[in-house]
Amino acid sequence: MKLENKFPGKDISQEDIKTKFPLVAKKNKNHKSQFKISGVEFGSKLVPIFAGPNMIESEKLIMNCAKNLKKAGAHFLRGGAFKPLTFPYRSEKYTETREEGIKWLKKAKHEFGIPVITEIMEEKYLDLICDTADILQIGSRNMQNFPLLTECAKSGKPIMLKRHYGASLRDWLGAAEYLMVEGNHKIILCERGVSVPHTHRSTSRFLLDLQVIPAAQEITHLPIVSDPSHATFWRNWVSPMTLASIAAGADGIMLEVHPDPENSAVDPLQPIDFKTFTNLIKKMNDVAKVLGKHVS
């Protein structure tokens, strides 16, 4: 037995690549998945942008976001109607909009012609969410909810699998294999920050693992999206970490954008406003250009 191939924990061995996640692993050095979702190219020179509020708080909010974010250059509108909120208590403002939220998302999608991504937490809502979503988002907290992964994959919908904040690259790729083994090939991975002993201020729960972008790209052909909003939890750091993500080779960017960030029902410290988003798109294009890529 070759011990170097059996090292447990976070390292990925050659044996893992062959036997644990053969579908997720690259077949050769230049292997990169390329596919289109609702007309948007992944794994090519385009760096798709997912933007929108944390939660679909109201019809007015999601319509406003769809209109302005599409105009500014977002490729997908994001927003959750079913939310994995950390604590069970709800104020009126802080309440998931659930079925109604999905209905508003559908309206925004059709009225402004922008594809949408939204989170699924329970299999029982799969049909409802699939009817509206162009991409199913599996949140970090459900990364290893294997029965949910299997059912979502079987729906045939493209899926974004967010990395759990405590998961190794090996665990994350293992979860992605659960999706691919069902024959679903439109899988996107999303880095959204990890828990580490030292972050930079009390509001920082997570640290954006920029290094995992090239590390994952060494092993997998799947596109890697970066989400600096959830990672930084702090809007002033979102723009620099977005640009750093593009420089690190991210295949897409997810951003929380809200017309009135301070009054966002969920996580009001992290969304950026429309103006910041519009300026950031220009800067993202400048950085992407260095790598022969583009955002718009």
Q: Given the rule CB under 6 A, which residues bind ligand PEP? A: 54, 80, 84, 139-141, 162, 192, 230
What is the smallest separation between the CB atom of 28 and ligand PEP, expressed in angstroms?
Answer: 31
Which one of Mn ion, ligand PEP, none interacts with residue 109, CB within 5 to 8 A by kind? none
Q: Would the CA dihedral through 181, 184, 155, 129 be positive or negative? A: positive
Q: How far is the CB of 286 from Mn ion (least distance, A)?
A: 27
Span interacting with Mn ion, options 52-60, 101-109, 158-166, 195-203, rule CB under 5 A: 52-60
Q: How far is the CB of 139 from ligand PEP (least distance, A)?
A: 3
Q: Which residue of this chain has its Cβ atom nearest to Mn ion in the complex?
A: 54
Of 54 and 217, nearer to ligand PEP (C-beta) is: 54
Instruction: Say which entry of ligand PEP, Mn ion, none residue 79 contacts (CB below 5 to 8 A, set by partner kind).
Output: none
Show Cβ contacts of residue 202 under 8 Å, excluding neighbours closer than 6 positions: none
CA distance 228 to 232: 6
> What is the number of the residue whose Cβ is closest to ligand PEP?
139
Q: Which is nearer to Mn ion, 43 or 53 (CB)?
A: 53
Q: Which is nearer to Mn ion, 37 or 257 (CB)?
A: 257
| Contact of residue 192 among Mn ion, ligand PEP, none (CB under 5-8 Å per partner type) | ligand PEP
Q: Which of Mn ion, ligand PEP, none does residue 140 bind (CB under 5 to 8 Å by kind)?
A: ligand PEP
Site string for Mn ion, 9-48 (x = CB under 5 A): ----------------------------------------
**Crossing angle for the helix pair 146-154 and 169-180, to the nearest 10 degrees:** 40
State the nearest-atom distance from the C-beta of 14 to ligand PEP, in Å. 30
Comparing CB distances to ligand PEP, the nearer of 50 and 178 is: 50
DSSP letters, the chain, are: --GGGT--SSPPPHHHHHHT-TTTB-SSTT----EEETTEEESSSB--EEEE-SB---HHHHHHHHHHHHHHT-SEEE-BSS---SSS---STT---HHHHHHHHHHHHHHHT--EEEE---GGGHHHHHHH-SEEEEPGGGTT-HHHHHHHHHTT--EEEEPPTT--HHHHHHHHHHHHTTT---EEEEE--B--S--SSTT---B--TTHHHHHHHHB-S-EEE-HHHHH-SGGGHHHHHHHHHHTT-SEEEEEB-SSGGG-SS-TTS-B-HHHHHHHHHHHHHHHHHTT-B--
Nearer to Mn ion, 58 or 150 (CB): 58
Nearer to Mn ion, 82 or 104 (CB): 82
Nearer to ligand PEP, 75 or 162 (CB): 162
Helix axes 59-72, 98-112, angle to 10 degrees: 40
Size of the site for Mn ion (CB under 5 A): 1
Query: What is the distance between the terminal CA atoms of the chain, rounded to a whole angstrom?
Result: 51
* Closer to ligand PEP by Cβ: residue 23 or 237: 237
Cβ 140 to ligand PEP shortest distance, Å: 4
Candidate list 16, 21, 52, 54; residue touching Mn ion; CB under 5 A = 54
Interface with Mn ion (CB under 5 A): 54
